[in-house]
Amino acid sequence: MKKLTLGLSALALSVSAATAQANCDAGEIVAKLSHVTGGTTHPKVVAANKLAERVNAEMNGTMCIEVYPNSTLFGDSKELEALLLGDVQILAPSLSKFGSYTSKFGVFDLPFIFKDMDAAMRFTNSDAGQDLLLAMEDVGFVGLGYWMSGMKYFSANKPLLKPSDAEGLKFRVQNSDVAKAMIAAMGGSPQPMAFKEVYGALQTGVVDGQENTWSNIYTKKFFEVQDSTTETSHQLLAYLFMTSQEFLDSMPKDAREQFIAIAKDVTNEANLSVKDKEANYRQSILDAGGKINTLDDAGRKAWVDAMKPVWKQFEDKIGADLIEAAANS
Ligand code: SIN
């Protein structure tokens, strides 16, 4: 019977990271699940650990998952390559990190395309959203589902009350052409950077600001090194829970089917609680002394007007039909 223990490397880097590191038994199919987030109730941490817990209990003797959080195995610049090389078997990268493999995922990054998380979930559950899970089949990537997280907000080393406050500031972004164009539309300078480098870059002034969810802003302590966060809700942060075709093909049929069934269940269950989790992290930021700037309707419209032209810029690459399907969700 396998036991769950704390991974030593993860423990060294973050004592608060809940890491379901299993002692896999000889003869089991071992899948390493690598991700970059931390904390104990972060939506991705919870989904990853639940997946490992279920597979390790229900497929004991057949399959075993080891979870490596907090970029302890691979950071987000290397993890997709590692999946293709077979050095890791399960990932959940942000949907913004697939630009080298497909331009279609740019739809998720278009500013203000989703009114809120409910609209984003309607889209990911729609036929168009489900088709995107297999948009990178030719590369060998298989999307097993979307792990949702939350809407994103801008923070900076000065209050961002209107878009022109961002002029001339350097913002860390994920490596996404849409995100870069969005920052440029605000008059800022986009600086693509791996997630694990963001705190240090904000602290030392390499960048002035960043955009993220409440869960990441709290668990990575970004709020401690920023003046405040503005509740823009300008973009979605969600993850592609994924594996490789090669890994799936290497599994016996029964094991593959059982794993996929558990994967679907865990995804559905995890997505039910993400809105509450994000709301709790928002409150935790306030409780810890972080400042949040709220926007009234007119204030929000100013951000929408500044960034909306980005849609047109990417219409050919993403596809007008896909943009329309997302926008009408
Ligand atoms: C993540 O939540 O996986 C990382 C998001 C980011 O890079 O900002």
Note whether 125 and 111 are within 8 A (CB).
no
Average pLDDT over residues 268-290: 97
Q: Would the pLDDT of 19 be above 60? A: no
Q: Cα(139)–Cα(98) distance, rounded to whole angstroms?
A: 11
Query: What are the strands, taking DSSP E only, across the chain?
Result: 4-5, 21-22, 29-34, 63-68, 90-91, 141-156, 170-173, 189-192, 209-212, 228-244, 292-293
Q: What spacing in Å lies between the alpha carbon of 36 and ligand 1's midpoint?
A: 7
Q: How confident is the model at residue 83 (pLDDT cuts 50, 70, 90)?
A: very high
pLDDT band at 76 (very low <50, low <70, confident <90, very high): confident
The values of phi and psi at residue 106, to 5°, are -55, -25
Within the chain, what is the greatest distance between any pair of CA atoms? 61
Give the rounded percent of residues in the chain with a pLDDT score beyond 70: 94
In whole angstroms, give the CA distance from residue 190 to residue 173.
6
**All residues at 6 or more sequence positions from 199 whose CB lies less than 8 Å from its CB, including other chains:** 220, 221, 222, 225
Q: Which atom of ligand 1 is nearest to the CA of 93?
A: 3
The first and second tokens of residue 244, run together, are: 């490789």
CA-nearest of 211, 236, 219, 234 to 282 is: 219
What's the confidence (pLDDT) of residue 291? 98
Burial of 246 (0-12, 13-18, 19+ CB in 10 A): middle
**Residue 210 pLDDT exceeds 60:** yes
Q: Per-residue pLDDT averaged across 193-220, rounded? A: 97
Number of neighbours of residue 296 by Cβ within 10 angstroms: 7
Q: Where are the beta strands (DSSP E) in 25-140?
A: 29-34, 63-68, 90-91
Which ligand 1 atom is the nearest neighbour of the CA of 36?
A: 3
DSSP letter for each residue of 265-328: HHHHHHHHTHHHHHHHHHHHHHHTT--EE---HHHHHHHHHHHTTHHHHHHHHH-HHHHHHHHT
Structural domain spans, the chain:
93-327
Q: Of all atoms in ligand 1, which is nearest to the CA of residue 174? A: 7
Encoded tokens for 266: 């865990």
Question: What's the pLDDT score for residue 248?
Answer: 98
Atom of ligand 1 nearest to the CA of 92: 3
Please give the average per-residue pLDDT across 220-230, as a whole number: 98
- Bridge partners (DSSP) of residue 91 are 34, 242
In the predicted structure, residue 80 carries a pLDDT above the cut 50: yes
The pLDDT mean for the chain works out to: 93
SS3 category, 36 = coil
- Position 17 scores a pLDDT of 40
Q: Is 113's pLDDT higher than 60?
A: yes
pLDDT digits (tens, 9 = 90+) for 61-75: 999 999 999 999 998
> Quick check: 55 and 64 in contact, CB under 8 A?
yes
Indicate if ligand 1 lies below 6 Å from the C-beta of 219. Answer: no
pLDDT (tens digit per residue) in 42-66? 999 999 999 999 999 999 999 999 9
Segment 154-172 mean pLDDT: 97
Return the pLDDT at 16. Answer: 36
pLDDT > 90 fraction of the chain, expressed in percent and rounded: 91
Say what the pLDDT of residue 18 is: 41
pLDDT band at 1 (very low <50, low <70, confident <90, very high): very low
72 CA to centre of ligand 1 in angstroms: 14
Instruction: Write down the pLDDT at residue 15.
Output: 34
**Do you know the residue count of the chain?**
329
Q: Is 94 in the pocket of ligand 1 (CB under 6 A)?
A: yes
User: CA geometry: angle at 35 spanning 34 and 40, to 5°?
Assistant: 115
Q: Is 267 in the pocket of ligand 1 (CB under 6 A)?
A: no
Which numeric CATH code is attached to 93-327? Answer: 3.40.190.170
Q: Tell me: pLDDT of 102 over 50.
A: yes
